[in-house]
Amino acid sequence: MGENSGSTNPTTGEDRRGGLTRRRAIITAAGVVAAATAVGVATQIPAWLEEEPTDEGLAADRIFDANINERGLGGYAKLIPDENRQGLGYHLVPDPVGGGRQVARFTSVPGLTLGNEFPRSMVETEPIIKADAHGNDNDVYFNGFSVYVLDGDFDQDTWITLFTGGYGPPANGASLLGLMLVRHPEGGLMFRMGDDPELLGDHVRVPTGRWVGVIQAYKYAYASNGGWVEMWINTGGQWQQVQINGENQPTLDVMRPNVTDGWYRDASVPASFSRIGVYGNRPYEAFFATHRIARSFDAADPLR
Boundary-marking domain end, from 26, 51, 76: 51
Residues 45, 182 within the same domain: no
pLDDT(49) > 60: no
Confidence of residue 52 (pLDDT cuts 50, 70, 90): confident
- Show Cβ contacts of residue 70 under 8 Å, excluding neighbours closer than 6 positions: 102
Q: What is the pLDDT of residue 133?
A: 98
- Do 135 and 219 lie in one domain? The reply is yes
What's the number of domains the chain is made of? 2
Query: Would you call the peptide bond into 170 cis, given omega within 30 degrees of 0 as the criterion?
Result: yes
pLDDT averaged over the chain? 87
Confidence of residue 182 (pLDDT cuts 50, 70, 90): very high
CA distances from 242 to 64, 89, 190, 216, 231 (A): 24, 31, 12, 10, 5
- Look at residue 78 and tell me whether its pLDDT is greater than 60: yes
Q: Are residues 47 and 61 in the same domain?
A: no
Residue 36, pLDDT > 50, answer no
| Statement: residue 107 has pLDDT above 50 | yes
| Dihedral class, residue 48 (left if φ above 0, else alpha if ψ from -120 to 50, else beta) | alpha
pLDDT of residue 65 exceeding 70: yes
Convert the pLDDT of each residue in 150-174 to its tens digit: 988 999 999 999 999 999 999 999 9
Say whether both 280 and 175 belong to one domain. yes
User: Residue 102 maps to which CATH number?
Assistant: 2.60.120.200
> Are both 119 and 150 inside the same structural domain?
yes
Question: Do 16 and 114 fall into the same domain?
Answer: no
- Global pTM value: 0.86
The confidence score (pLDDT) of residue 294 equals: 98
Residue 32 clears pLDDT 50, i.e. is over it: no
For residue 263, pLDDT over 50 is answered with yes
Amino acid at 86: Q
More confident residue, 186 or 21: 186
Which of 295, 279, 285 is closest to 218 using CA atoms?
295
DSSP letter (8 states) at residue 42: -
210, 117: one domain: yes
In this structure, are 198 and 296 located in the same domain? yes
In this structure, are 130 and 266 located in the same domain? yes
**103: pLDDT strictly greater than 60:** yes
Q: What's the residue count for the chain?
A: 304
Statement to judge: residues 134 and 245 lie in one domain: yes
3-class secondary structure per residue, 262-299:
HHHHCCCCCCEEEEEEEEECCCEEEEEEEEEEECCHHH
Q: Which domain holds residue 98?
A: 57-300
Residue that terminates a domain, selected from 51, 78, 93: 51
* Alpha carbons 261 and 218: distance in angstroms, whole number: 15
Lowest mean pLDDT among 44-58, 173-187, 237-251: 44-58
Q: Is residue 132 scored above 50 in pLDDT?
A: yes
- Answer positive or negative: Cα dihedral of 282, 110, 146, 300: positive
Q: Is the pLDDT of residue 40 over 50?
A: no
Residue type, 182: V
Q: Same domain, yes or no, for 79 and 201?
A: yes
Q: Inform me whether the pLDDT recorded for 20 exceeds 60.
A: no
CA atoms within 13 A on the CB side of 40: 0
Q: Per-residue pLDDT averaged across 125-154, rounded?
A: 96
Name the pLDDT band for 47 (thresholds 50, 70, 90): low
Give the largest CA-CA distance in the chain: 68
5 with 75, same domain: the answer is: no
